[in-house]
Chains A and B, each alone.
Chain A
Amino acid sequence: MSQRIEFDNVVQRFRIIRERPDTLRELFSKLYRRGEPGFYDFLALKGVSFRIGDGESVGIIGRNGSGKSTLLKIIAGVYKASSGRVSIQGKVAALIELAAGFHPELTGRENILLNGLLMGLKRREIKEREQAIIDFAEVGQFIDSPVKQYSSGMFMRLGFAIAIQVDPEILLMDEILAVGDGPFQKKCLDRIDEFRSQGKTTILVSHDMSAIRAHCRRALLINEGRLIADGDAAEVIAVYEELQAKIIGATDGKAHSAEVLVS
């Protein structure tokens, strides 16, 4: 089994700016009254190491703000890790709403081309898949109308259908299962299962433990930027539930100090 994803002691640092000098005026006024730095560093990931091989289905779980999405964005290539080594083998696609890549004035078909190119497909590959995307998205004759006329459901389904047809080696999903109605979700899940059965790597970030159980054999538990459990999905979920129970217990104990835990 070849390695698809390798993380070696990966750190992701965010420079949190107290008052971001978005304009030069703010920068100058900041330089003028020196002293307290206008920012502090926040470590979203504090040295995370793991390997994911070809054909694995991995769930990433953890509380809000634990660093799950940061991890996913590093795999997707959106963030470049501040330190540590990241190695990704193969094409990565993320199943996220790609409304951002859509231009409202362009037709569905034109947006398929543009979005497909943005996701790294070649024009020829997109033309081959165009009909499959249109069918999957169930937009029918609207495909040649500007997407600004689409209903929000059609808009999301089209973005999703493009991503799902990219046919990558590694598929990333961040709480994907909220797109579309029941039948559409079912279709997506079937496609993801089909994908897995082809021996591709899938990574799912979710708070829905039943989705993790159903789709992942392995799970990674991230807490406060550290990988604290890695292994069989059922076992890691048990660790996570224990952790959550402990936090809920602590919150109950300390009655009104929930915000301490959040920070």
Chain B
Amino acid sequence: MSIFSLLAEIQHNRELIWALALKELHIRYKRSALGFLWSLLNPLLMMIILSVVFSTIVRIGVKQYAIFLMSALLPWTFMSQTLAYSAESIVGNGELLKKIHVAKTVFPIAAVLSNVINFLLSMIPLLLLMLALRFPFHWTWFYLPVPFLGLVLFTTGCALFCSAANVFFRDVAHILQVVISAWFYASPVMYSLDFVPDRYRIFFRANPMAYILHGFRNGIYYGTVPSMASIAMSIGVGLVALVLGYAFFRRMQDSFVFYL
């Protein structure tokens, strides 16, 4: 199974992956006075703006819309940011890959890891917001590791694909931006499937992110656990994406050096 060879590669290079991920975070905040605090402040400020806008200016018939939105927007942002970073991860390290032999998966994997750290940190401002709004903490928070696993598997698979494809066609990074923003509106982030007429719901069944976001929103906002089928799908789409993404990466990785 190819997944086991990926796991073995990650295990073997864990120190390098960790160092690359920390470097990424380090550099992102290096020159700013508040440094690492930005990774907390940024989502917090965004949440405050959104909750003000949607509780006073734009009235949406959803109670505590800020929490409703955040429960899906945070995992979404993780996915979209990781893909933007990882698409450049092989190309950006081109000079290095032309000089030394190193497992090429470490670069997209490190991009995923640095964004996982950021994502987990962004849960802190969410908790603060929930406290401030007196939103109840549901026991279903304990269920969140399941959609989180699906999210990380799915994102890693897509990250491996994008990082490899971008070596051969640099358009991938640009196309990705357009695809991600279209995909955002086609995914239940700002709305839920209840708002969608029955006859269109079929399209959402084909959207892998819909299952994953459903899990997060159920756990955080509704305090329920999704159906078994939905849970299975969220892990299933993750595994499929990972297997396909890694298979593509493995097939192409020996030729990277000739296109960098």
Contact = CB atoms under 8 A, between A and B. Distances in A.
B103 to A, nearest CB: 10
Nearest to A79: B257
A117 B16 contact: yes
B254 interface: yes
A77 interface: yes
A22 B169 contact: yes
Interface stretch (A101-109, A218-226, A230-238): A101-109
Interface in B54-109: 95-102
B99 A98 contact: yes
Interface of A: 14-15, 22-25, 27, 76-80, 92, 94, 96, 98, 100-101, 103, 105-106, 110, 113-114, 117-120, 122-123
Most B-side CB within 10 Å, residue of A15, A77, A100:
A100
Interface of B: 15-16, 19-20, 23, 26-27, 30-31, 95-102, 169-171, 254, 257-258
A69 to B, nearest CB: 11
B97 A22 contact: no
Given A23-B171, A92-B101, 19 more contacts: A22-B170, A23-B170, A77-B101, A78-B99, A80-B254, A94-B99, A94-B100, A98-B99, A98-B100, A100-B95, A100-B96, A100-B98, A101-B99, A103-B23, A105-B31, A110-B23, A117-B15, A119-B102, A122-B15
Contact of B26 (A14, A92, A106, A120): A106
Given A23-B171, A79-B257, A118 B23 contact: no
Contact of B99 (A27, A100, A114, A117): A100
A89 to B, nearest CB: 15
A77 B102 CA distance: 8
B99 A103 contact: no
Contacts of A117: 15-16, 19
A114 B20 contact: yes
13 contacts: A22-B170, A25-B171, A100-B95, A100-B99, A103-B23, A105-B26, A106-B26, A114-B20, A118-B96, A118-B100, A118-B102, A119-B100, A123-B15
